Amino acid sequence: MNWPGRRAEKAEAEASAAVVADEARERARRTGDVLRQARSERGITLADVEQDIRINRTYLEALESARFDVLPAPVYARGFMRSYARYLGLDPDEALLAVPRDLPRPTELDPLPGLRRATSTVLPTLPTLNPPMAIGIGAAVVLLVVALLFVPRLGGSTGINAVSTASPTGTAQVNADAPNLVGGTREVATAVLEHEGLTPLIFESPNSAPPGTVFRQSPGAGSPVKRGDVITLFVSQSTGGSPSPTPSSTATPARTPTPTATPAR
């Protein structure tokens, strides 16, 4: 066996990976310097940025110092970087190159150890069924099937087909829970929905919340949704503006009756 050759290949691969990691850190550091310099040239403080785009100052400082471990989930980190760069008049796509693609998942999003379901290698022993119990279980199953087939469900659907939904290709789509987007900025909420495969629909409306803040969503957080569903976001705008849905909707103007002339007598 060529052990020295394998050790050399492994050492070469580790050195190459270290070079790539160093280049990524250097790019992130340069991008942070560009953000800080652009903000300073405009005479803007971190408090001003926090108030304008509704991103916590701690996260803004993390972007400028390339400390991505402080940021929340990767999708939020990219959303923050895009919003901050666009606010400073920089190219958001160029700024996103500084965000590592392999950001670790925050530990606070993992389930607690006590909530993890323990796997058992021993199958449980089934109880022995006597004839009366078997007859009762069989009757209950029959009643359940009859109820599913003939009793109308709420919303007008009937039968077993109403229990599950299927996509046009015939494959079942798994439902998920709608994320909580209230209180975030429009840009971050849109980025989260696109990452989850959901379609955002924006309605701007005057509200006491700062402009550009999501103050309501439909369906609400925790509601069952599936990929492709539309999530309506109600975003606050400056006081005095009129609600403007996005995508824009057209209104049909009211018809004005044509006056009829009365002939002179």
pLDDT (average), residues 41-62: 91
Q: Give residue limits of the domains in the chain.
A: 9-101, 176-246
Share above pLDDT 70 across residues of the chain, in percent, rounded to a whole number: 65
State yes or no: pLDDT of 240 exceeds 80.
no
State whether residue 218 is helix, strand or coil: strand
Q: Are 216 and 186 in contact (CB under 8 A)?
A: no
Dihedrals phi, psi of 45, to nearest 5 degrees: -95, 165
pLDDT (average), residues 138-145: 84
CATH value of 176-246 in 3.30.10.20, 3.30.9.10, 3.30.70.20, 3.40.470.10: 3.30.10.20
Q: What is the pLDDT of residues 72-122, one digit of tens each?
A: 777 888 899 889 999 999 998 988 888 877 665 555 444 444 434 444 455
Sign of the CA dihedral 117, 123, 128, 133? positive
pLDDT (average), residues 133-159: 69
What are 128's two structure tokens? 């022995």
Contact residues for 46 (Cβ-Cβ < 8 A; gap 6+): 39, 57, 60, 61
Greater confidence (52 vs 123) lies with 52
What is the helix, strand, coil percentage profile of the chain, to 5? 45, 10, 45
pLDDT (average), residues 40-57: 92
Range with top average pLDDT, 45-54, 121-130, 155-164, 244-253: 45-54
State yes or no: pLDDT of 159 exceeds 80.
no
Q: Are 231 and 225 in contact (CB under 8 A)?
A: yes
Rounded Cα gap, residues 29 and 18, in angstroms = 16
CATH value of 9-101 in 1.10.260.40, 3.30.160.620, 3.90.1150.10, 1.10.357.10: 1.10.260.40
Greater confidence (238 vs 114) lies with 238
